[in-house]
Amino acid sequence: MNKLPEYIHERMGGQLHEGQIAKYVIVPGSQTRIKKIVSHWDDNKKLAHHYEFLVHSGTINGQGITTCSTGIGGRSTSIAIDEMAALGANTFIRIGVTGGIQPNMQVGDLVIASGAVRMDKTSEHYVFPEYPAVADMEVTCALIAAAQLEGCNYHVGIGATASSFYAGQGITCLNGYRTTKMDAIVSDIKSANVYDWDTETATIFTLCNLYGLRAGRVNVIVDDPNTGLYNPAGEDDAVKVVTEAVKLLMKWDKIKQANNQDVMLPDHPGITYKTQGNS
């Protein structure tokens, strides 16, 4: 008999078990994005559907991969990270949608986060506010390489993770409700050279660094706050990039294992790696 969960979200309500979750986990916010993600795999199986969490596992080139939707915001995202990590995941890549902040950004561009401003509130329950929310170097390199291979326009920089979708990102609320703080946050974030908004990245980066795990993030710009243009077509590019990034990480991890290395430096001058199977 399967052991009952000790709390409501443990193993996604008891639906997940040891050995079902791969090391590599793609974490979209939306459940609907799961279908697009798994369409690039060799095979997949639905394992759990619990609250906002939809979980599938499968394979790419014979290696295991998992995807788990996080829902919106840091609180639910932290549950996904904690539960996936408890079942063996060690590499998380968020894929999401965003609005570009800086003037050189266009709808359809990708934004790869090197770090995130911790305005998510959730991460404050885990560690002091000065602790940085930064992406893993290898995962970020894999996302950049994948974006180049797919021929996508992309930017690499700091994102901001808000605890509120509307007021927290300076979006005017119902009946025109707006505060001076909302005006200030838009101006301050732009002046600080922050690239985009979401409500999950800082939580993911903070938890993964605390737990000694790897994390990265790619968002696609689907709306321009300056023009009002909205176009979600770029989501397909983001899915291709995150899939290719996982393939690269799988390859690099094998090379690291064969060379007894902790860190991969792709195409670094003067360093020669042997591949598995070579003496």
Residue 177 lies in a domain: yes
Residue 276 lies in a domain: no
How many domains would you assign to the chain? Answer: 1
Which residue has tokens 């950004």? 105
* Buried b / exposed e along 86-122 (16+ C-beta atoms within 10 A): ebebbbbbbbbbbbbbeeebebbbbbbbbbbbbbbbb
pLDDT tens-place values along the chain, 279 residues long: 456 678 889 999 999 999 999 999 999 999 999 999 999 999 999 999 999 999 999 999 999 999 999 999 999 999 999 999 999 999 999 999 999 999 999 999 999 999 999 999 999 999 999 999 999 999 999 999 999 999 999 999 999 999 999 998 988 999 999 999 999 998 999 999 999 999 999 999 999 999 999 999 999 999 876 677 788 889 999 999 999 999 999 999 999 999 888 887 766 555 566 665 443
Angstrom distance (rounded) from CA 222 to CA 11: 33
Token representation of residue 147:
């974006």
Domain that holds residue 38: 11-259
Residue 243 lies in a domain: yes
Residue 6 lies in a domain: no
Residue 195 lies in a domain: yes
Residue 200 lies in a domain: yes
Bridge partners of residue 217, in order along the sequence: 94
CATH code of the domain containing 181: 3.40.50.1580
Residue 269 lies in a domain: no
Residue 236 lies in a domain: yes
Angstrom distance (rounded) from CA 121 to CA 20: 31
